[in-house]
Every structure is written in C-alpha cells, then in structure tokens.
Chains A and B, each alone.
Chain A
Amino acid sequence: MIKVIVSLVATFALVSCGGNVKQSGSKYPCSGVDWAVLGYDTAVAGKPVRFFDRYKSSCGTRLEAGALTQYQDGYVKGVVVFCTFDKGYELGAENKKLPEVCPFELSQNIKKGYGEGQRYREDVIKKLKRSTESLEGGGVGQPSPDTGVNGF
C-alpha cells in the first residue's frame, strides 16, 4: 500500500513538472522555455549575454533548436530597454557598478547617464557633508556623517 502511494506521488510529481523539460542529467531546462523572454529578462536585469552559456553547457546537443537565436533576439530587445541614459543615471546615483553588457552603439548613452548620476550623488554627498560640518560646529545630536538621506 505504501509502495503504491509512493509510486503515485512520484508519478504525480513528474507529471506536474509541466512544460519545462529538463533532460536527465541537465541542471537547466533544454526545451519548452520561452527563450525570447529569457533573453529579454536577462538583458533587462543587466546580466551579460553569456548567461545563456549555462544552458548550452548543461544541455549540449539536447538544447532545443533555435533556442540561441530566440534568446539573442530577446536579449537585443531587452538591451535596448536597459542601456538608456536613465538607467545609467539611476545606477550612478545609487553608486552601483555599471554592468558591461551594453553593445557599442548603446554604451555611450548609459555611460553618460551613469556619469551624470555619479555627479548628482557627489553633489548630494558634498551638501550633506557641508550641512553636517555646520551642524557639528553648531551643536550635538546631529546625524553622523556616515549616514544620511537615502543611504548616502
């Protein structure tokens, strides 16, 4: 009876895997993935295009035909969304590292934005330092210069 229940549960678990089919021995699914969406999401998250290498190395020849092309197509669309002035500004203002994922023709924009974001961040820091110094000079109980607004 217990054996029957265990085998039923195992069967159910296998069936419920659904579309993402991992080939035996593969850590990553080799087919049934929306590769274009994967590419898009990878780019928009600022990850490098070689994120796909793990699928290639894991699946080898079992990788679904056309997966690379669809992934690259999606990645190109996503990279256009990611590699913008605004994104660069956001990353620079938050003092995050600028990922080197943008293609040559789009890298200028994001770098400009990053530079502007960094300058903005430096301005804010300078203002905070000045106000901190003036407060320190004036009294106690002022915020430490190591903490400030928005984590600066």
Chain B
Amino acid sequence: MKLGFLKRIYGDIGLALWLLLLSPFTQHVHAAMDEFEIEVAKPIFVLPQFTGEYQEREASIAPEEYEMAERLRSLLDSEQKEDVLAELETFYDIELSPAMQTLKAQIYFSLNKYPEAENTYLAILKRKPQFVRAHTDLAQLYLLTEKPLLARKHFARAVEYGSNEAIVHGQLAYLNLTQHGPFSAISEYQQAMALEPENRQWQQGLLAALYQARMYAAADALLGELLARYPKEAELWLSRATLALRQDDSTGALAGLEMAILLGDLSETNLRAAAQLHLQLHSYDRALVLLKTHLQNTHFKMATLHEYLNWMAQAKMWSHAEALLASAQTRVAEMSVMDQSLYYLHRGRVSVALEKDAQAQEAFEKSLELNPSNGQALLSYADFNAKHERLVKAELLYIRAEAIESSEKEALLGRSQLYIDMQDYAAALIHLKNAYNKFPELFDLLDNIHIIENIIRAQK
C-alpha cells in the first residue's frame, strides 16, 4: 500500500512535470492554429519606357483642296453621291488629304460598297494611325459586316486616342461584354450612360453587364432607378423578376412577373414561370387562372398541359386540375391522336381522385381506344379496376402494360400486388422474382420475396 502511495506521488509529480514541459509547445500550437498565413505573389507593375510618338488624331482638308471641297459639298447637298465619288476616284489616294480620303470612304460606306470603304479606311490609317474618326468609322463598318473582333479593336483604338462619344463607349461595351465578359463592359456602359443617361441601350447593357458579373445589389439599384423612371416598362419588371429568382426571392420574382403580365406580357415562358411560382407559394387559384390564360393565348401544346396537370397532381389540386382539363376540352380536336389519349388519361386520373368512377372509366376507355399502347393509361386503368375488384380485367391490363417497355416494371409490380391481393402467393412470387431479375435495382423486393416464400412454406 505504501509502495502504491509513493508510486502515486511520483506519478503525479511526473505528470505535472510533463505537463509543464509541454505547455509552451501547446501554447505555440494553439497560436499557430489561430493564425493563418497565406503567401501570394507580389503584383508586378510594368511601366513602359516610351509609349510611342504622338501623332495627329484629327485631319483637315489641305488648302489646295478648298475649292474642290466646296464643289463636292454642293453635290452632296443635292444627294449626288455618285458624282462626288466619281470625282474623288480620279485621284490617287495619296494625292488626297486624309480628310478628303475619309470623305471618299464615307461615301463608299453610304453607298454600301463595303469592301472599298474598308480598304480606304485601312489606307487612311496607314497614313495616320491615330486618326480617331477613321477608327470609329471603320469599327462601325466592321460591326455592320459582322466582324466583331475587328470592330472591337478599332473602337478600343478610338477610345485610346481620345474619342469620348457615347456611341463609341456603348459599342465598345457591348463588344467587350460579348467577347471578354462583363467586367470589361461595366465601366464603358457607365461612360456611355454618363453622356446619354436616357439611352435605353446603355441602360439595358449596363444592367445585363451587372447581372452577368453577379453584382446583384448594383443591378437591383439600377433597376430601381429605371423603374422609378419607366414604371410601365414590362421588360424592366421581368428583369426584376429574373434578378429576384437569382437571389432565391420567389416572392419578389412573382411580384415582378405579375407586374409584367399586368402590363401585357403574355409570353408562354413568363406565364408558365408565374404559374409555377404561385404553385410553389400555394396560391393555387391564381396559378389556375394563369394556366388557363396560357392555354388560351398561346399555341396549344399537350406537353405543356401534361406538365401542368402533373404539378397539380403533385399538389393534389384535383378540382383545379379538373377545371383546367375542362378549359382545354375545346382544343382536344386540334390534338394528335396520341395527345388526345394523354388528355383522356389525365381526365381518368383526376376523376379517380375525385371519386367520379363512371367518368373515370369512360375516360380510361377513351384513352385506350385512341392509343391502345398508352402504357400509363393501361396501368392507371388496371389500378382502377383492381381497386374496384375487377381483378381479371386488371390482370389483362397489366399483361398488356408489361408488353410495353416504358411501363413493364410498374406492370410487373402491379400484377404481383394483384396476386397478393388475390392471395395467389405462388403467382405473386413468380412475378416478383421476374421483376427482380429484370430490374435488379429493385433490391427492396428481396424482402418481399422472402416474406412470400415464408408464407408459402407456412401454408404447406
């Protein structure tokens, strides 16, 4: 016992010493864990030693051209562009001042002689590489002839050499947005807007750029400003809806969409989106109104109705689904045979849910009459018959459904359930095993198979 007591004391002292030794290390570890240091590369600034010789950025007519310029001006005033061009074409390019050569290029441009205009502008820029007007005009030409890369290059040069026109900033912004992403476009759109704040192109462009750059707060602020100015612009409300959706604000999105619809926007996509949002937010009556409006106002598609009816089925909106089906009744004749079959399938399902058995039966039979290979109709009708203990008919329908690839799995399971309900466990077992063999992903069936095997064994 004494030994044990001594051992205990030494043990305690040792432990205390050990803890004392460890404590600074422990503190260092704790400190190290509290502070993280990440090393990043230092930014590198490159300062050019010489940015190039300054050259004139505008051009004027040579004194010896004044007389000709007057003559050409009077021809231009009377819209005789071809005559002006004919006179200018008598000169070699180098004999004309860059200003006069620019006039020639502009006339080519206005007469839609784009290759000649392009060559002339390029020749001018060889003589005066920093000529702002030539860069601007050439960029416009490239935009028109769908050469956006070249257009961007020359708009950038124009800005570089001092152009401060709103259209140049705006066009450059658009091209930067499409070619290099939103961040290179935002400041240019802002420049354009600073010069032309009422220009819708720049407003929309800036909004698009902010949205693409995920600067949602800034985009929202801009939208707020625009909506205050143009409250009856449906497009702006739609933009607000889009922005709200991006920020997971369903209520805000719905508000935007409803305003747009109120202002007359009845596009298929927007009506559908509004209906979907209403369903999500459980405002079913409004959703139904929108769906009806959509079906009435747009080119009718059964696929769309099918989608809506599926939503309603998920939300168990059976009476609303019935109302929607009724509103589409007049359009049934326009549908293809397959679509009509699908329509009656939905009628059947809705009637089942509303316990309108006679109508359900009629609808299912109509559906199968139109398309005997409608697997879903076969299954739904089989389930209906099984529920009403018309077991033989149900079995026949399940057998038919098994022959169709898309409904085979459900048919096998349905038939197995039927046999279980009929207490024909042997048949149920065969079909369950068959289902498991064909669809091994139904591993839950193994439990059912074992249970039925036990039942069969017990019965013996």
Judge whether A79 and B92 touch: CB under 8 Å. no
B residues near A (Cβ < 8 Å) are 56, 59, 62, 65, 92-95, 97-98, 119, 123, 126-128
Judge whether B94 and A49 touch: CB under 8 Å. yes
A76-B93, A104-B62 are known; give 12 further A-B pairs, CB within 8 A.
A49-B92, A49-B94, A49-B95, A52-B92, A72-B92, A76-B94, A76-B127, A79-B94, A104-B98, A105-B56, A105-B59, A105-B98
B128 cross-chain contacts in A, Cβ below 8 A = 105
Judge whether B97 and A103 touch: CB under 8 Å. yes
A35 cross-chain contacts in B, Cβ below 8 A = none
The contact sample of 21 A-B pairs, CB cut-off 8 A, is A49-B94, A49-B95, A52-B92, A72-B92, A72-B94, A75-B94, A76-B93, A76-B123, A76-B127, A79-B94, A103-B94, A103-B95, A103-B98, A103-B127, A104-B62, A104-B65, A104-B97, A105-B97, A105-B98, A105-B127, A105-B128
4 interchain residue pairs of minimum CB distance: A104-B62, A104-B97, A49-B92, A49-B94
Which one of A52, A72, A79, A105 lies within 8 Å of B123 (CB-CB)? A72
Q: Is A97 an interface residue (CB 8 A)?
A: no
Q: Is A50 an interface residue (CB 8 A)?
A: yes
B97 to chain A, nearest CB (A): 4
B94 cross-chain contacts in A, Cβ below 8 A = 49, 72, 75-76, 79, 103
What separation, in Å, do the CA atoms of A69 and B93 have in the docked complex? Answer: 10
B449 to chain A, nearest CB (A): 85
Which one of B56, B65, B97, B126 lies within 8 Å of A76 (CB-CB)? B126
A residues near B (Cβ < 8 Å) are 49-50, 52, 69, 72-73, 75-76, 79, 103-105
Q: Which residue of B lies closest to A75 (CB)?
A: B94
B98 cross-chain contacts in A, Cβ below 8 A = 103-105
What separation, in Å, do the CA atoms of A110 and B98 have in the docked complex? Answer: 18
B59 cross-chain contacts in A, Cβ below 8 A = 105
A79 to chain B, nearest CB (A): 6
Q: Which residue of B lies closest to A101 (CB)?
A: B94
B123 cross-chain contacts in A, Cβ below 8 A = 72, 76
Q: Which residue of A lies closest to B93 (CB)?
A: A72
What separation, in Å, do the CA atoms of A79 and B94 have in the docked complex? Answer: 9
What separation, in Å, do the CA atoms of A90 and B217 have in the docked complex? Answer: 68
A50 cross-chain contacts in B, Cβ below 8 A = 92
What separation, in Å, do the CA atoms of A24 and B297 have in the docked complex? Answer: 77
Residue among A72, A79, A104 with the most chain B CB within 10 A? A104
What separation, in Å, do the CA atoms of A73 and B123 have in the docked complex? Answer: 8
B97 cross-chain contacts in A, Cβ below 8 A = 103-105
A73 cross-chain contacts in B, Cβ below 8 A = 126
Q: Which residue of B lies closest to A49 (CB)?
A: B92
B171 to chain A, nearest CB (A): 27
B362 to chain A, nearest CB (A): 81
B65 cross-chain contacts in A, Cβ below 8 A = 104
B98 to chain A, nearest CB (A): 6
What separation, in Å, do the CA atoms of A72 and B124 have in the docked complex? Answer: 12
A122 to chain B, nearest CB (A): 26
B95 cross-chain contacts in A, Cβ below 8 A = 49, 103
Q: Which residue of B lies closest to A77 (CB)?
A: B126
B123 to chain A, nearest CB (A): 7
What separation, in Å, do the CA atoms of A104 and B98 have in the docked complex? Answer: 8
A75 cross-chain contacts in B, Cβ below 8 A = 92, 94
A27 to chain B, nearest CB (A): 21
What separation, in Å, do the CA atoms of A49 and B92 have in the docked complex? Answer: 7
